[in-house]
Amino acid sequence: MPEKNENPVYARFVTEMQVRPDDIDLYSHVHSSRYLDYILAARFDQMERCYKMSMQEFAALGFGWFQRSLTINYKRQLEIAERFKVETGIEEFLKDGVIVSFKIFKANGKLAADGTCNYALIDMNTRRAVALPQEILEKYSI
């Protein structure tokens, strides 16, 4: 685990996206499941671009990420074709995973949603959670 610190602060990164027509549901707003898609797409981008360890590298090492839990707090509606930003960062390292917090900002800068994801690092052969290897801790402790 990273060096013990009462309140460690880790880097946060931003990915820009746009609401697509197929993100809109019968009620003319972005379907709740799409917010999870946005978070996952942002993390996928940020793993490679910001942490310099892509999802493909995790797979090559025989690892994957399993989402144990998700909390989304909806604040404001995103609109069709609206450009928005997804900001994410590691809040806490666990023995076998991470807690990632996120914020989704509308084009006008107002908060559309926020929350946390709890991910476990799993061994793809056994499908069981495993302790975070030191090399992964170092790359993601920025």
Along the 142 residues of the chain, how does pLDDT read in single tens digits?
445 556 789 999 999 999 999 999 999 889 999 999 999 999 999 999 999 999 999 999 999 999 999 999 999 999 999 999 999 999 999 999 999 999 999 999 999 999 999 999 999 999 999 999 999 999 999 9
Report which of 15, 101, 2, 121 is spatially closest to residue 59, judged by C-alpha positions: 121
Which residue's entry shows tokens 């917090």?
101
CA–CA separation, 52 and 46 (whole Å): 8
Under the phi-then-psi rule, with left for phi > 0, alpha for psi from -120 to 50, and beta for the rest, what region is 62? left
Domains (ranges, CATH) in the chain?
12-140 (3.10.129.10)
